[in-house]
Each structure stands twice: as structure tokens, then as C-alpha cells.
């Protein structure tokens, strides 16, 4: 069980390139379209992402959009999880048909959501454990700046948990482990040996994504602001964010499959083919 960053990136690119036509269709239907629908159905989405938005107006828009955003966001997440699962299954060793991959993706949604809830609970518990002593200590010794360390530690814990949970989806889709606790434990065990290298790998990709997304959102948000508050503005922002989510989704799924292939070792099919 090894982990090589360069090999994982190269393998992910090969998987994405070899299956791109099918992946693009799945990502378009299950990632791009839900994103567009959210932008069109949630009021004030263009204002929320406008770089020139007034803070007070922005707060009002956020409160106004909270209900629809949660409703459409949850529905969109279920649809997108199905798409992510289908793409992971499609790039796995089983080589299913598109219909089989979509079916597998749909069956995995409940498990993936349950795994996310496990992650959220662990994260909240860790955040409370970290913040409480720092806040108390800052109050006792009278150094408010000490409490500023807590958010940095919380971010570090979040990155650590994300790293240890990162193999959950390929475990569910490729190894067909539908019990969320078993899937999380399997991911936790798989990432244990190389956890810090995997964390650095995801962190590098995360920083690159944040920089690129901020640049694109700023540029196209400014362009959309000239289109006003109508449908045109929503379509511009929805299309840009949807296309970006498509590309990121395809690459994340490919990377998850590639890293899983390294950490899990050769599949039964690979071993069998070696002796044939």
C-alpha cells in the first residue's frame, strides 16, 4: 500500500481523458443543470456573488435566500451525489455501463449522506473541544489574541478529517460497502499510513482551486453585474459556476479512484488477469 502524488495525478488524468465523453454527459446532467436551477430558483444569487455588493444589502439578501437556498441546495446535493457516485463507479475496475453506474450512484446516495453527517458530527465535537479551552484561557489571562489560534486549529482539524474521509466514496462505489460506518472506517484505515502526504496533496489542490475559483467568480461576477438583476445575470453566474463544478467534479472523482487504486492495491480482476 503506497501513495505517490505524481502517479495519482497522472492516473487521474488518464481516467478522466479515457472516459471524458461519458463523464461530461453525467457531469452536465447531474452537476451543471442542478447548479443552473439553483441560480435561477434562489432569489438574489447574483447579488450574493457580486464583488461590488454592499455588505448590508448582502446580509439582507442572504436572509431572504436562506429558505430557498436550503431547499434547492439539499435537492441539488442529492442529484449531484448521484452524479459523483456514477462517475466514480464508471472509472472503477468493474467497468459498468452508464446505466449500471447511474444505478450504483443512486444506491450510494444514502450512504454518502450518512458518512457526511458522521464527518459533520466529528467536526463539531472537535471544534467545541478546541475552541472552549482557548476561549476560557484567553478570558482568564486576559489575552484576547490567544482565542485567534482556535480557528486555525479548527481548519487544521477539518483538513485532517477530510483527508481521512476522502476514500469513503470510492470505498462505497468500488468496494460496494453500503454501511456508512464500515465505509468510514475503511477510509480511515486506508489513509492512516500516508495521511500527511495525502493531506498535503489535497491541500495543494484545494489552494489552487480557491485561487482559480475566486478569480473566475470575481471576473464573471463583475460581468454579470452589468447584466443587472435579471435572468441573464443568473445564467452567466450559473453557467460559469456549473462548468467549474463539472470540471472539478470530474477531476475529484478521478483523483479519488486513482488514490484508492494505490491505497487498496490491485483488484481481484487485476490479479486474475495477471495469471491468465
pLDDT digits (tens, 9 = 90+) for 95-152: 889 999 999 999 999 999 999 999 999 999 988 888 788 777 776 776 666 667 778 8
Mean pLDDT (whole number) for 37-65: 67
Helix (H) or strand (E) segment spanning residue 118: helix 98-141
Contact yes or no for 7/199 (Cβ under 8 A): no
CA 19, CA 257: separation in Å to the nearest integer? 13
CA 190, CA 1: separation in Å to the nearest integer? 8
CA 241, CA 82: separation in Å to the nearest integer? 19
pLDDT digits (tens, 9 = 90+) for 182-210: 999 999 999 999 999 999 999 999 999 99
Residue 39's alpha-carbon distances to 3, 43, 53, 55, 78, in angstroms, are 39, 8, 17, 20, 17
Closest CA to 86 of 76, 96, 74, 72: 96
Residue 179: partners with Cβ closer than 8 Å, 6 or more residues away: 111
Q: How many residues are present in the chain?
A: 276
Whether 237 has a pLDDT exceeding 60, the answer reads yes
Residue 228: partners with Cβ closer than 8 Å, 6 or more residues away: none
pLDDT of residue 174: 95
pLDDT digits (tens, 9 = 90+) for 245-266: 999 999 999 999 999 999 987 6
Handedness of CA 30, 32, 38, 40 (dihedral sign): negative
Mean pLDDT (whole number) for 10-18: 96
Amino acid at each position: 500500500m503506497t501513495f505517490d502524488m505524481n502517479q495519482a495525478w497522472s492516473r487521474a488524468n488518464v481516467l478522466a481523458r479515457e472516459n471524458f465523453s461519458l463523464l461530461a454527459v453525467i457531469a452536465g446532467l447531474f452537476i451543471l443543470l442542478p447548479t443552473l436551477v439553483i441560480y435561477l430558483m434562489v432569489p438574489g444569487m447574483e447579488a450574493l456573488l457580486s464583488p461590488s455588493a454592499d455588505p448590508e444589502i448582502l446580509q439582507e439578501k442572504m436572509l431572504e435566500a436562506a429558505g430557498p437556498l436550503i431547499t434547492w441546495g439539499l435537492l441539488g446535493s442529492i442529484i449531484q451525489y448521484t452524479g459523483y457516485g456514477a462517475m466514480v463507479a464508471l472509472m472503477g475496475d468493474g467497468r459498468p455501463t452508464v446505466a449500471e453506474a447511474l444505478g450504483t450512484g443512486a444506491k450510494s446516495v444514502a450512504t454518502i449522506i450518512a458518512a457526511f453527517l458522521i464527518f459533520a458530527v466529528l467536526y463539531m465535537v472537535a471544534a467545541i473541544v478546541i475552541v472552549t479551552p482557548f476561549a476560557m484561557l484567553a478570558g482568564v489571562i486576559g489575552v484576547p489574541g490567544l482565542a485567534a489560534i482556535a480557528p486555525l486549529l479548527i481548519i487544521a482539524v477539518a483538513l485532517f478529517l477530510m483527508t481521512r474521509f476522502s476514500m469513503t466514496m470510492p470505498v462505497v462505489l468500488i468496494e460496494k460497502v453500503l454501511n456508512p460506518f464500515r465505509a468510514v472506517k475503511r477510509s480511515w484505515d486506508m489513509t492512516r499510513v500516508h495521511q500527511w502526504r495525502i493531506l498535503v496533496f489535497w491541500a495543494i489542490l484545494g489552494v489552487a482551486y480557491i485561487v482559480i475559483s475566486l478569480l473566475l467568480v470575481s471576473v464573471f461576477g463583475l460581468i454579470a453585474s452589468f447584466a443587472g438583476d435579471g435572468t441573464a445575470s443568473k445564467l452567466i453566474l450559473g453557467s460559469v459556476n456549473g462548468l467549474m463544478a463539472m470540471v472539478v467534479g470530474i477531476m475529484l472523482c478521478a483523483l479519488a479512484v486513482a488514490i484508492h487504486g494505490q491505497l487498496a492495491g490491485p483488484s481481484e480482476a487485476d490479479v486474475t488477469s495477471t495469471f491468465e
